[in-house]
């Protein structure tokens, strides 16, 4: 009987140690994730959110980021043109899933002046360049290596798409992956 109690105590001790190690590892992972002013970036598969949908036209905030070739690009560089900004990361499955439709719509509307700015969040240039090249995407890709746009555009999850009209007003903001029809409807709003 005493031997049985010892085995149960040993099992309990082992379980406690395993739980402690798992907790410590989880804490290390969470605290080492990139963040910007406490904001957390999650991959989102939902196309509906309290922050999705029509917004009051507001002058969009300007930002300046480098593209994949190192050239500095500003949102204001495209004043007078409709701009579709898509915030993404290469590790995000919903982001990767909507990219082919973004490329297809870019090809369809670029002759009418549409600009697509795909803003990668906090990844290195080589990773992003490899992803873009492998998939044959031709739209503009910008690197937000420090998460500067995160707080301004309230990027609690990704992907997030922002549709800016020719006057520089944010007309629509969508949180989560969109289907082609929703993307195209939003593009038409800013054309």
- Chain segment 132-181, per-residue pLDDT in tens: 999 999 999 999 998 888 877 888 899 999 999 999 999 999 999 999 99
Residue percentage of the chain with pLDDT more than 70: 70
Predicted confidence at residue 58, as pLDDT, reads: 41
pTM above 0.85, yes or no: no
Q: How far apart are CA 82 and CA 94, in angstroms?
A: 24
Domain ranges for the chain, please list them. 1-32, 53-190
Do residues 164 and 82 lie in contact, with contact meaning Cβ atoms separated by under 8 Å? yes
Written in H, E and C, the secondary structure of the chain is: CHHHHHHHHHHHHHHHHHHHHHHHHHHHHHHHCCCECCECCCECCCCCCCCCEEEEEEECCCCEEEECCCCEEEHHHHCCCCEEEEEECCCCHHHHHHHHHHHHHHHHHHHHCCEEEEEEECCCHHHHHHHHHHHCCCCEEEEECCCHHHHHCCCCCECEEEEECCCCEEEEEEECCCCHHHHHHHHHHHC
CATH number, domain 53-190, options 3.30.499.10, 3.40.30.10, 1.10.10.60, 3.30.230.30: 3.40.30.10
Cβ–Cβ under 8 Å, residues 82 and 169: no
Stretches in the chain below the pLDDT threshold 50: 23, 25-59
Instruction: Please tell me the predicted confidence (pLDDT) of residue 62.
Output: 80
**Cα–Cα distance, 106 to 2 (Å, whole number):** 74
């Amino acid at each position: 009987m005493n031997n049985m109690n010892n085995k149960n105590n040993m099992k309990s001790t082992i379980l406690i140690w395993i739980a402690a190690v798992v907790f410590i590892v989880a804490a290390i992972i969470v605290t080492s994730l990139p963040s910007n002013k406490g904001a957390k970036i999650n991959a989102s598969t939902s196309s509906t959110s309290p922050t999705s949908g029509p917004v009051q036209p507001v002058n969009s905030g300007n930002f300046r980021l480098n593209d994949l070739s190192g050239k500095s690009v500003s949102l204001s560089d495209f004043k007078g043109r409709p701009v579709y900004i898509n915030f993404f990361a290469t590790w995000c499955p919903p982001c990767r899933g909507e990219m082919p439709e973004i490329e297809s719509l870019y090809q369809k509307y670029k002759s009418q002046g549409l600009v697509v700015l795909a803003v990668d969040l906090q990844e290195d240039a080589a990773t992003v360049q490899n992803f873009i090249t492998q998939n044959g995407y031709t739209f503009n890709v910008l690197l937000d290596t420090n998460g500067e746009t995160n707080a301004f555009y309230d990027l609690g999850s990704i992907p997030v798409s922002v549709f800016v009209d020719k006057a520089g007003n944010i007309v629509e903001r969508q949180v989560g992956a969109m289907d082609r029809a929703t993307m195209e409807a939003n593009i038409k709003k800013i054309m």
